[in-house]
Structure 1
Amino acid sequence: MRRLPFLLALLILGACAGIGVGIDRFTQRFGPADPQRFDHASAPMANEVSYDRSIQPLLDKRCVVCHACYDAPCQLKTTSWEGIARGASKVPVYDATRLVAAEPSRLFVDAAKASEWRDKGFFPVLNEHADTSVDASRTAGLMHRMLALKQAHPQPSQGVVTGDIDFSIDRAQSCPAGSQIDAYEKANPQGGMPFGLPGLSSGEHALMTLWLEQGAKAEPRPEPSPEARRHVARWERFFNGDSLKEQLFARYAYEHLFLAHLYFDEAAAKARHEYFKLVRSITPPGEPVREVAARRPVDDPGVARVYYRLVPERESIVAKTHMPYRLDDARMARWRSLFLAPAYEVEALPGYDAQTAANPFKTFAALPVGARYTFMLDEAEFTIMGFIKGPVCRGQLALDVIDDRFWVFFLAPSQTYDESLAAHLSQEADLLRLPTGSSNTGLLAPWRRYARMEKAYLALKSEALTQRVAQSGRQLDLSMVWDGEGRNPNAALTVLRHFDSASVVKGLVGDTPKTAWVIGYPLLERIHYLLVANYDVYGNVGHQLNSRLYMDFLRMEGEFNFLVFLPRDQREAVRDAWYRGDSLATREQVYGGPARFDADSGIRYRTADAKTELLDLLRQRMQPLAPGQFASIDGEPDPALREQLQRLAGVRGAALQWAAEAAILAVDEPGRPTHWYSLLRDNGHESVSYFLREKAQLRPEEDRLTVVPGILGSYPNAFYRVPATQLPAFVAAMSGLKSQADYSALAERFAVRRTDPRFWAHSDALAAAYAKAQPLSAGILDYNRLENR
């Protein structure tokens, strides 16, 4: 009997050994793994493949198009050598079901070396085993295996990608680690990389293979240019003044610019992608940066004082996160005049508790309201872009809170208005508190609480607006809408939703939209703090849903600000047209009830359709501004091409329900450069106030198509390539869609599908045209949302 424990132990050890053989076959064959092998890059020899000159450019063209940012499949980022060395994870960043907030896994922030990422559950895609032979690099290197799988099992060269392959952004991901790759290859022969796209050319594959077999080496990262280093030193001095006034302003600037790609010289930014990021560090200027790895920029840094430092951007520039922002002499002088020169006192610095993080109006109460508003207005497109390109804006659930295309304007700042607003904010700040925290357990109760606070705020706001009109003796008119002082194109923006992605651009794109927002300071600040500064992409489902639901209130407030410029007797009719089928309580959240404003508009309308007339008047008001980023198709100099584009833009109604949400059209003419256009479907909605019921609110008969010269959007759903002589046939096919079969026929004739042998050549031409037309704002497009039909 005493031998039983010993025998039992032998059986357990034997069983464990058997499991080990199955799980860790690579260790059995190639020796133990060394997690520190890729902690630092080894420089290639003179006769070896250059990572900087050969590999990263190839990755940018063929891999980064899917493997970048938070939604990179298996968290594998190919935007830098460090991303490849980090490897992959089975845990997705975007998870709408998690009950507990996840641990952050931000490249360059939450761990510094590959071995540290292994401790966080990431597994290698390069060979880390003791055997570094060519055979080991090919067999145990998952990156090599996935590329070789595509070469061994190429996809069809026409039609659609066949087999049981899910291309939806919420698909269950297969992330094989180690020797699990053997089973993956057997179960998913069509699952090689690039996933669902043509494989690398023989030359490209040979280059990648050689680099991997040589040990996946990379050159040391180059230092910023001497001129950039001088700018960095100057701006770090500016952001790290010792006075309380300077420290409070620096915190405000950081909490608004932490997502920015900062640049000093436009030529360097265009030619070398020399961008910088503003971070919090526990070390002052002159010492190596030790970044504070807090979940959000509003979170407690854990030290008595932080320093704001500029670090080089170390990843490839991708369109879906690229937010360029210029720092120059004029900007510094502007901020000095707004925040540092005025005579006011900052008696104490605010803390970082949860209530402070939830309420920027209390946190920054000491800073002049007008200065804060001007800071955001000067680059309003960037400010709005934060919730378009920040981590919150991913997927249909995050975006069903807005209409498919609407124009955005801003209330004009004025000293009188700013002083009045400051007084009201000091009284109403508690009503403007935002949902915060990474793990919220409540949903319905918090939403009701915030709804009551919003109603109370709207009642006070309407009362204050009434008093302002009475005291000034002036009714609301166009002078109250900011015109950018006649020179700042940020005064008029267009937001475009593409179902599960979105864009914002300067200028008024497309014909007259269904809705518009007019934004004032409190609304603009809350949008930023709700969806950018306070949003935690790693937060739990409660945090995500509370943020989404609160955004309903902010949309309605922007619409209220637009409605009050209409004649009093037309406001409710326009509101009801926007919210068809909604309850009276929902409609009164927009206008009516506590949100009622009874003073009439001071604008003299000449037609019965005041909404359309107001939008036309606002377009005229913005006319003196610099042209928007995208020209109108009406300016196309070729009359024949212009006529066909206008016909295409005139396609309306149910036919468009079969079309792609966001497509890029290439029109070819012999002897001329290719013309590129973005085709953006504007879905008709009965209302956008419903949560999880968007499909029931769609009205295909109200769908419209916006045609824009150039590349607009980060996530194309389809590519079309049409000879100019066949453009009439393309327009006819688009306008005649009646079924999925009709669309398949259109795609067969005109689309550059995933299977098309021309795919990568077309992709390269598109990228080159994009970079040439928009050298500062262009980035690598994302192909995760490309259709397969």
Structure 2
Amino acid sequence: MVQRILVSVFALLVSSLAHGQAPQSSPSISYTRDIQPIFTEKCVACHACNDAACQLKLESPEGAVRGATKVPVYQGERGQAVPPTRLFYDAQNEEQWRRKGFYSVLDNQGSQAALMARMLELGHKTPLTPNAKVPDEIVLGLNRTNMCPLPEEFDGYAGAHPKEGMPLAVTGLTDDEYHTLRRWLAAGAPVEYQPIKPSAAEARQINEWEELLNRPGSTEALVGRWLYEHLFLAHIYFVGGEQGHFFQWVRSRTPSGKPVDIIATRRPNDPPGTDFFYRLIPVQGVIVHKTHITYPMGPQKLKRVKQLFYAGDWHASALPGYGPRHRANPFETFEAIPAVARYQFMLDNAEYFVRTFIRGPVCRGQIATDVIRDNFWALFQEPAQDRYITDAKYRSQATPLLAMPGQNDDVGSVLNLWHAYRDKRNAYEKLRRDAYAEMPAPGWATLWAGNDNALLSIYRHFDSASVTKGLIGDVPLTMWLFDYPLLERTYYQLAVNFDVFGNVSHQLQTRLYFDLIRNGAEVNFLRLMPADQRGKILGSWYQNSGKVKMWLDYEDIDSDTPSAIKLDPRDPERDFGLKLLQRTGSLNAAPDPINRCTGAYCSRPQMSEEFRNAEQSLSRLVSRPAAGLKVIGQLPEATMLRIEGVNGQRQIYSLLRNRAHSNVAFLLGEAYRYEPGLDTLTLYPGVLSSYPNFIFNIPTQDVPEFVEDMEYAKDDPAKFERIVMRWGVRRSHPQFWYYFHDLNSFIKETQPVEAGVLDMNRYENL
């Protein structure tokens, strides 16, 4: 550090003298004031999250100083797990990161400028043609292989890729931004660290929560561990806290009141190796939307936790270990804690828990998302109707069957492990089927309706997905019904036990078991359908090759015991969805007149006439199959419409493409199971993706023409090109960054707690 400061001072001195100025006349550059805002504006959209190019993360000075590496986080075929490289966790200073293989992008290389400076120069001297397509030779998106050149390899990189400087394939830095960064880099790239610190009100609440989780005694320690394992991913915000302040739970070698010394295990339930304490620390750096999974805490939440976990007459006689067996089966590990307390805690904030495994934060999730439909609704079973909660004998029979794979990552054992866990899971499904057949017929009371987390909408965007409260869009093809064993297993399999740095065996086992989880959620829902129609409905979900999967890997369904819900036999699924909407109006956080227009007015009544008319026109695009709206075939998964009013106001809408599949039961060959003629669009106010694929900016008076042109374009690329040219915001658009960041501005205005910089790694070259 001293050497860096001396270099910085010397470089400033030389620079000043070279320009004939006294050193003190050159204004100093502040990293916090001058540099991080440029990174946030032009770089973080690609250099954040686990899939940051070359693992160069620019949300904070710590990330900039850490630098880059050639080792990708996502490498699904690797035979050996790689050491984790989580910023702020797995190393604490520049020297430690160098030992882990990271190289500087900020240091000058003798007579050569810093690697970042040369990358920026390459980008600045090869600007894109305004609002034209990016040249085809520049590979973008998930198909891109990042070169990550070392400083000494840069000349070869620039010769082979002369148009691939930074920022990559997007409207670049302004002249002022470019020169500011160049001056900073020439001065040795000095940084100052200004970590976020809790306010007094936050500090008081932190002390209360840390005291609760660190209480002595076996019973208290078991609850603390369960709570930690369920909240370790959360960006926690406090009632009465500072806007923009978020905190996360860690295990520390030091108690409350002392500086945190993080125990950086791969998973939150790995052995800590020493005595430890649960601590809350501030989330540092720029908030990134993809990893920003929020969770509220305050006095009422504290009271609720004490009521759920500490008020009952139960005790833990001993503490479980941290070995593979205890990781594989949290039902056995935490069986001393009343199951009703565990389930109710998860239900209270069900959106948070579903977000942890559907939305992220792994940042590149096709290993999970290709096993789910492009849109479906999620419902939850009422605890009083959950046999695992209410029947101790059933619970003791079920618990040994609920273990999950992924703890043994021996590549040669994948098939044997898969078969063993598949058979165990199917034995559980048989036990559940038979036990529930003895219960009263399921009805509307089977569904939990405790708060607005009770109804969730999931939208998949190829390799990412979003979760939103309420029932959005037209009635979907499938729905999931979570009971406690299913919700807990999904969370542990995809959040707690998943290792993004793991090898192919671990990731394959995770993906295969999630296929069984999805099937379990569908089967739970099927019990609400008429018994004599369940087989037909299931067959519609598993067409063609899906029938083979049903025969090979899934347990038979209950097609005998009745449902107490009376449904139209012509289309019971749709009738169920419509009745659900009618019965849950007070819980439904997402009234949706645009996609579910039942009368003459297909717009939100609270909007101004200008935007009501725009929504009325846009509603013509939704809930229509692509066979009748062929332009759907040219749209990406998540398009953002920015509708601009005459007085400067604007509204943001997500236009989501719902790809239809004959089934989603296999790991490979997804493209062969597409049914493009059945694709539909959902249009919903707000930003329903962390990864916008494209933006259209449309004045309200142009909306009818935009809709007409979309209908007229059909599957003609030339006609669609004219739409993009007129209203599209291409990567090369002169105001690209204004429109891109305005999406987050809209989130700040409408859902300020959820705001975070969006990711442009999937922004398409339309």
Q: Which residue of 2 aligns with 1:203?
A: 176
Root mean square deviation, CA, Å: 2.4
Q: Residue 466 of structure 2 aligns with which residue?
A: 503
Are residues 1:289 and 2:260 paired? yes
The residue identity in structure 1 corresponding to 2:319 is: L
Query: Structure 1's 96 and 743: CA in aligned 2 closer, same or farther, altered over 3 A?
Result: farther
1:242 to 216, 228, 231: 216
Match of 2:17 in 1: none
**Match of residue 539 from structure 2:** 576
CA separation of 1:339 and 1:652: change in aligned 2, threshold 3 A: same
CA distance in 1, matches of 2:717, 2:194: 49
- Residue 681 of structure 2 aligns to which amino acid in structure 1? L
Provide the C-alpha distance between the structure 2 equivalents of 1:690 and 1:722, rounded to a whole number of angstroms: 40
Please give the alpha-carbon distance, in whole angstroms, between the structure 1 residues aligned to 2:181 and 2:743: 23
**Alpha-carbon separation, structure 1, partners of 2:619 and 2:566:** 32
Matching residue of 1:609? 571
SS at match of 2:681: strand
Contact 1:687–1:697 (CA under 8 A) maintained in structure 2: yes
Structure 1 pair 265–392 and aligned structure 2 pair: CA distance change class (3 A): same
**In structure 1, distance between residues paired with 2:559 and 2:194:** 59
Counterpart of 2:233 in structure 1 is 259
Instruction: Check the 8 A contact 1:101/1:438 in 2, yes or no.
Output: no
**Contact 2:4/2:190 (CA < 8 Å) preserved in 1?**
no
- Structure 2 residue matching 1:624: 3-state secondary structure: coil
Shift of 1:585: 5.7
Which of 600, 615, 623 is the matching residue for 2:585? 623
Structure 2: distance between partners of 1:168 and 1:764: 19
Are 1:306 and 2:269 counterparts?
Answer: no
Please say if residues 35 and 128 of structure 1, whose CA atoms lie closer than 8 Å, have aligned partners that are also in contact: no
- Please point out which of 54, 60, 65 is paired with 2:40: 60
Deviation, 1:114, is 0.8
Cα offset, 1:769, TM superposition: 2.1
Q: Does the CA-based 8 Å contact 1:391-1:537 persist in structure 2?
A: no
Distance 2:6 2:401 in 1: 49
Q: Paired residue for 1:350?
A: 320
Cα shift at 1:220: 3.4
Show the 5 A alignment for 1:516-595: 516-582=479-545, 584=547, 586-587=549-550, 594-595=556-557
User: In structure 1, which of residues 748, 762, 768 is the aligned counterpart of residue 739 of structure 2?
Assistant: 762
| Residue identity opposite 2:736 in structure 1 | F
Matches within 5 A, 1:34-433: 37=4, 47-127=27-107, 139-222=112-195, 223-265=197-239, 268-269=242-243, 273-303=244-274, 305-392=275-362, 394-414=364-384, 417=387, 419-433=389-403
CA separation in 1, counterparts of 2:577 and 2:3? Answer: 61
2:603 alignment partner, one of 628, 634, 656: 634
- Quote the Cα distance in structure 2 between the aligned partners of 1:750 and 1:230: 51
Change (3 A) 1:371 1:39: farther
The 1:153/1:628 distance shift into structure 2, 3 A limit, reads same
Alpha-carbon distance, 1:627 to partner: 2.5
1:518–1:559 contact (8 Å) kept in structure 2:
yes
C-alpha deviation, 1:398, in angstroms = 3.0
SS of structure 1 residue aligned to 2:290: coil
Could you state the TM-score of these two structures normalised by the residue count of structure 1? 0.89
- Name which of structure 1's ranges 78-87 and 732-741 shifts more when overlaid on structure 2: 732-741
Task: Quote the offset at 1:391 in angstroms.
Answer: 4.4
Q: Distance in 1 between matches of 2:433 and 2:201?
A: 51
Shift of 1:416: 7.9
Task: Give the Å deviation of 1:527.
Answer: 0.3
CA distance in 2, matches of 1:576, 1:331: 43
Secondary structure of the residue aligned to 2:657 is strand
1:246 positional shift: 1.1
Identity of aligned residues (%): 40
Of residues 616, 620, 628 in structure 2, which corresponds to 1:643?
616
Distance 1:433 1:170, change over 3 A: farther
Flag the 1:75–1:465 CA change in 2: closer, same or farther, 3 A.
Answer: same
The DSSP-based 3-state class of the residue aligned with 1:414 is: helix
Is structure 2 residue 455 aligned with structure 1 residue 489? Answer: no
One-letter amino acid of the counterpart of residue 601, structure 1: S
CA contact (8 A) 2:213 2:220 kept: yes
Give the alignment partner of residue 725 of structure 1, picking from 701, 712, 735: 701
Counterpart in the other structure of 1:3: none
* Equivalent pairs, count: 735
Q: Cα distance, 1:770 vs. partner?
A: 2.5
What is residue 597 of structure 2 aligned with on the other side?
A: none
Relative to structure 1, the CA distance from residue 547 to residue 40 in structure 2 (aligned partners, 3 Å threshold; closer, same or farther) is: farther
Identify which range, 386-395 or 702-711, moves more after superposition. 386-395
Deviation at 1:224, TM superposition (A): 2.4
1:346 to partner: Cα distance: 0.2
State how far apart, in whole Å, the 2-side matches of 1:35 and 1:540 are: 40
Pair 1:569–1:357, CA change in 2 (3 A): same
Asked if the contact 1:466–1:597 (Cα under 8 Å) also holds between the matched residues in 2, the reply is: no
Instruction: Verify the 8 A CA contact 2:236 2:248 in the aligned structure 1.
Output: yes
CA distance in 1, matches of 2:425, 2:478: 21
1:84-117 residue CA offsets vs partner (Å, 9 max, x unmatched): 0000000000001100001111111111111111
* Alpha carbons 1:357, 1:436 under 8 Å: kept: no
2:668 equivalent in structure 1: 692
Indicate conservation of the 8 Å contact 1:41/1:217, yes or no. Answer: yes
- List runs of 5+ in structure 1 lacking aligned partners: 1-33, 470-474
8 Å CA contact retained: 1:275, 1:313: yes
Runs of 5+ consecutive residues of structure 2 not aligned to the other structure: 13-23, 595-601
Matched letter for residue 521 of structure 1: Y
Q: Measure the CA separation in 1 of the matches of 2:568 and 2:168.
A: 57
Query: Is contact 1:49–1:211 with CA below 8 Å preserved after alignment?
Result: yes
Distance 1:730 1:652 in 2: 19
Distance 1:100 1:275, change over 3 A: same
